[in-house]
Amino acid sequence: MLPAAASRRIGVLISGRGSNLQSIIDAIANGGLDAHIAVVISNRREAPGLVRAREAGLEAIHIDTREYSDRDSYEQAVVDRLQERQTGLVCLAGYMTVAGPRLLAAFPDRMLNIHPSLLPAFPGLNAQRRALDYGVRVTGATVHMVTAELDGGPIILQAAVPVLDDDTEERLSARILVEEHRIYPQAIQIVLQGEWFVDGRRFVRRAPTSPQRG
Ligand code: GRF
C-alpha cells in the first residue's frame, strides 16, 4: 500500500501537450480526485503541458536529457526531484520515454501510465493509427501500472471506444482522448484510496469488509 504521509502527493511526467495533465488538474479542482500535484516534470523544454502546469500554479520543471551522460543519471535526477517533494505516486501523462530501472526501483507499484488502446492490443507508439489500420471494431484507453515491460503492467481501468467506418486517425484519437481524460483521474483516485493489491498480472480491488458483529 502507499505510504500514508506521501500518498496524495503526485508527480506528473510529461513530454508534450499535457491534456491528460489538465484532466488531473481539473479533477482535483472539481473535487473528483483527492490529491495534490507536487510537481510536473517534462523532458522537453517546449512541452505545452509545462505552461498549463504553471498557469495552474504548479511547480513545473524541465529536466534536459542532454545534460546527463546516460539514462540512469538522467532518471536519477528525475527521481531526486520527485523524492525531494515527497511524491507518493508518479503519473506518466504523454511521457515519451520508457521508464527505466531507476524510476521503476524508486516507485514500484507507484507509477501509472495512460495508453490510447485497449492493452495488450497496440502497445507502443501510434496506437490509434495502428488500431485503425488493423481494422479492429473497438479500441479505447487503458490506465496501467508501469513495469519494465512496455505498456505491459497490471491494468487498473479501461474504456472502450468504437471504431467507425469513416474514422480518421484524428477523429478516433479525439474520441479516445475523451475517455483518457475520464478514466485517468478515476484510476488515480482508486490507487490513492488503497484497498488493492497486485496478484501476478492482475490489479485487484479488495471488497469492502463488513463490520464485525457481536
Ligand atoms: C495520450 O494519447 C496518451 O494516451 C499517450 O500520449 C498522449 C498524451 O497526450 N500516452 P497529452 O500530452 O496528455 O495531451
Residue 184 contacts residue 23 (beta carbons within 8 Å): yes
Q: In this predicted structure, what is the pLDDT of residue 207?
A: 80
Rounded-to-integer distance, Cα 102 and Cα 25, Å? 27
How many angstroms is it from 214 CA to the middle of ligand 1?
51
Nearest CA to ligand 1 atom 1: 94
Q: Which atom of ligand 1 is nearest to the CA of 20?
A: 13
Per-residue pLDDT of 132-175, as tens digits, reads: 999 999 999 999 999 999 999 999 999 999 999 999 999 999 99
Rounded-to-integer distance, Cα 88 and Cα 207, Å? 24
Q: What residues are labeled active site?
A: 115
The position carrying cell 471494431 is 137
pLDDT mean across residues, the chain: 94
Per-residue pLDDT of 71-114, as tens digits, reads: 999 999 999 999 999 999 999 999 998 999 999 999 999 999 99
Task: List pocket residues of ligand 1, CB cut-off 6 Å.
Answer: 14, 16-20, 49, 93-94, 114-116, 180
The position carrying cell 513530454 is 15
Residue 99 contacts residue 92 (beta carbons within 8 Å): yes
How many angstroms is it from 95 CA to the middle of ligand 1?
8
* Whether pLDDT at 3 is above 80: no
Rounded-to-integer distance, Cα 170 and Cα 133, Å? 13
Per-residue pLDDT of 19-38, as tens digits, reads: 999 999 999 999 999 999 99
Per-residue pLDDT of 165-209, as tens digits, reads: 999 999 999 999 999 999 999 999 999 999 999 999 999 999 876
How many angstroms is it from 21 CA to the middle of ligand 1?
9
Buried b (16+ CB within 10 A) or exposed e, 39-66: bbbbbbeebbbbebbeebebebeebeee
Neighbour-count burial of 200, counting CB atoms closer than 10 A to its CB (0-12 exposed, 13-18 middle, 19+ buried):
exposed
Predicted TM-score (pTM) of the model is: 0.94
pLDDT band at 5; cut points 50, 70, 90: very low
